Structure 1
């Protein structure tokens, strides 16, 4: 699987998320623990999360 690091990840090695797509599943892991556990989502569930996340972050700041 080819993993992609979040564009929001910092260069300090902090809170980093990596995502890989392997049909029919989207995999998510902590970039600091490459051998650790992963979360698995359907593409539909992942798309819903990605669409929801900015709204949730905005309402958490208010």
Structure 2
């Protein structure tokens, strides 16, 4: 098991439903691990990311 797979399993156990990010070579292992996950990857750019967080966090 790769570290990225373990990380995704831990996030699933914690109830994470979404991950925001920019796909790329640097996070390819995480993207691969998400293929078998219930967590949805939402593609965004760095400028919009802070605008998306408040709507998807517990408060």
**Bigger fraction of residues in helix:** 2
TM-score above 0.5, yes or no: no
Higher RCO (CA 8 Å, separation ≥ 6 residues): 2
Q: TM-score, normalised by structure 2?
A: 0.30
User: Rg larger in 1 or in 2?
Assistant: 1
